[in-house]
Amino acid sequence: MNYDYIIVGAGSAGCILANRLSESGEHSVLLLEAGGKDDSFWFKIPVGFTKTYYNEKYNWMYYSEPEKELDNRSLYCPRGKVQGGSGSINAMIYVRGQQRDFDDWAAAGNPGWSYRDVLPTFRKLESHPLGNTAYHGANGPISISPMRGAVHPICHVFLEGCEQAGYRRTDDFNGEQFEGAGIYDVNTRAGRRSSSSFEYLHPALGRANLTVERNALASRILFDGERRAIGVVVRQNGDVRRFAAKREVIVAAGAVDTPKLLQLSGVGPRALLDAHNVPVVHDLPAVGQNLQDHLCVSFYYRANCKTLNDEMRPLLGKLKLALQYVLTHKGPLSMSVNQSGGFFKGRDDEPHPNLQLYFNPLSYRIPKSSKASLEPEPYSGFLLAFNPCRPTSRGSIEIASNRPEDAAKIHINALTTQKDIDEVIQGCELVRRVMSAPALKAITVEEISPGPQVQDRDALLQYFREQSGSIYHLCGSCAMGADSATSVVDARLRVHGMNALRIVDASVFPNITSGNINAPTMMVAEKGAQMILEDSQRVEIRAARPVEAVARAV
């Protein structure tokens, strides 16, 4: 079967691409998704992420390779295996990042990606209650809900404590003032998750020129003798199927599976491909390199006042909250558990905010077993977590074999630079500084962990090594840049040295953004779709290759 465009991956980016490329009706579009439909109730209700966190039906449930600097632990790296991808299972915090994040993208050799360049695209994709302003849009598909006025009262104690500790407040992390303490925005609509699947893909599913194939695991991209992408091979319900692309193949499988697919297809570092008996189509050394993530650690506290633990742990409390949600679409089940926090400088001489805080009005432990669920601690409690905004350690994604069904090896390579180690200490000290504020001391019985015995820098660093984990913001593994020795795609997201092959997802980030990455991933998809359509007007279509030609390329 022939299509103008084949999109691999129906995640946060792929759903947007499918909508925009099929919008005019001029192009035939095939969207391939390895998972199934997002038709479960748990994808609609915001708190539903607690039910998909360890659900192998909807989650790839990846783990990193043992991390030498993190007590040799393998970190859990959940990835969405469902229509909507990780945007269907995340905690919905909507943060774009700070201006310098994108200015650094442009400075890395990517014209058109500065903050000034991408701001109109952010405004285009969102519908914000503030309306059309210099920083927000009112008519986009993704609905943004400020949680201010709806969060648990203890969150306001946190904000008071931050002010007492000398930190400013901000009313809008996506507005003029990024730095400071505040209440997060979430992408929800009337108490329901507002994902790119619900808002972009679902309305487009009735289009005659858009085809979606689910439970279709892409195993290889097909190329002709001119390094032109001409199709994709998938495994679907036990069958091998081949699809032909007349214009482009667009890979949007995410920071783990996008480099994996390129490597399986013969595009990547020659030594790695040779080691796994993959025929080399193009020796592109940066495929799978430059991997980045935010690593987070939580400090746990027992409170002398009621917190969400008291409402969400007892069965009766769960039933009351569920009834409130069903009747009103309001209450804790309509929001993220990450309700307040902010962006701070770990030291006065830091030029930009370099630490992110999350204040949760409940405390819970990440389960060690996939059979366990996320449950509040059995006491009135809360937690305060932090992660450095722009870690400088770099990891990699590598195929484990030439079998598509085998998960790639994830090397986060954490804490391998002195800057990252220093910022861990800064983060621990920032948490303690905020928690020493009178307002927070007044509601705190004790610090459960790491506990008062952990005080000096070495002990705090060791706590991070033993207890930190991924906060699931993997990106950068097919970075955008001008040099094919150190990057994978150019500023128009075209793979270096290849034809008709693009990457449009979080793997193209040259550097990780400050904050949660779903918003910038959707921005990349909106901007990428525009680029694809613009380029389609400039380049004459080659003669369509029939399915038989694609079959011969296998």
Active site residues: 473
3-state helix, strand, coil in the chain (%, to 5): 30, 25, 45
Q: Which residue in 470, 154, 458, 420 sits closest to 297, CA to CA?
A: 470
Kind plus residue range of the DSSP H or E element containing 503: strand 501-503
Could you tell me if 230 and 223 are in contact, meaning their C-beta atoms sit under 8 angstroms apart? Answer: yes
Terminal Cα-to-Cα distance of the chain (whole angstroms): 15
Amino acid at 440: L
Q: Which residue in 510, 502, 507 sits closest to 528, CA to CA?
A: 502
What is the CA 522 to chain-centroid distance, rounded? 10
Kind plus residue range of the DSSP H or E element containing 355: strand 355-360
Q: Give the separation between CA 223 and CA 101, rounded to whole angstroms.
A: 35
Q: Give the separation between CA 183 and CA 339, rounded to whole angstroms.
A: 6
Return the structure tokens found at 31. 């969207």
Say what the pLDDT of residue 364 is. 87
DSSP character for 200? I
Q: Give the separation between CA 383 and CA 447, rounded to whole angstroms.
A: 9
Spatial neighbors of 497 by CB under 8 A, at least 6 apart, are 227, 282, 284, 484
Return the structure tokens found at 245. 């692309």
Q: Give the separation between CA 294 and CA 515, rounded to whole angstroms.
A: 8
Q: Which residue in 458, 455, 461, 474 sits closest to 411, CA to CA?
A: 474
Partners of 296 in the β-ladder: 469
Return the structure tokens found at 15. 């759903």
Q: What is the DSSP string of 264-294?
A: HTTEE-HHHHHHTTPPPSEE-TTTTEEEB--
Return the structure tokens found at 513. 């953004």
Q: What is the DSSP string of 102-117?
A: HHHHHHTT-TT-SHHH
Could you tell me if 513 and 520 are in contact, meaning their C-beta atoms sit under 8 angstroms apart? Answer: yes
Q: Give the separation between CA 12 and CA 505, rounded to whole angstroms.
A: 8
* H-type alpha helices, 399-507: 418-435, 438-441, 457-467
Q: Which residue in 502, 501, 506, 485 sits closest to 493, CA to CA?
A: 502
Q: What angle do CA 533, 538, 540 make, to 5 degrees?
A: 105
Render each residue's pLDDT in the chain as its tens digit; 554 residues: 899 999 999 999 999 999 999 999 999 999 999 999 999 999 999 988 888 888 999 999 999 999 999 999 999 999 999 999 999 999 999 999 999 999 999 999 999 999 999 999 999 999 999 999 999 999 999 999 999 889 999 999 999 999 999 999 999 999 999 999 999 999 999 999 999 999 999 999 999 999 999 999 999 999 998 999 999 999 999 999 999 999 999 999 999 999 999 999 999 999 999 999 999 999 999 999 999 999 999 999 999 999 999 998 888 998 999 999 899 999 999 988 899 999 999 999 999 999 999 999 999 887 666 555 678 899 999 999 999 999 999 999 999 999 999 999 999 999 999 999 999 999 999 999 999 999 999 999 999 999 999 999 999 999 999 999 999 999 999 999 999 999 999 999 999 999 999 999 999 999 999 999 999 999 999 999 999 999 988 765 554 454 555 655 54
Return the structure tokens found at 518. 């779903």
DSSP character for 360? E
Cis peptide before 450 (omega within 30 of 0): yes
Return the structure tokens found at 355. 């630490």
* H-type alpha helices, 141-240: 154-164, 196, 202-204
Say what the pLDDT of residue 373 is. 64
Say what the pLDDT of residue 543 is. 45
* CA Rg value for the chain: 23
Return the structure tokens found at 24. 């005019």
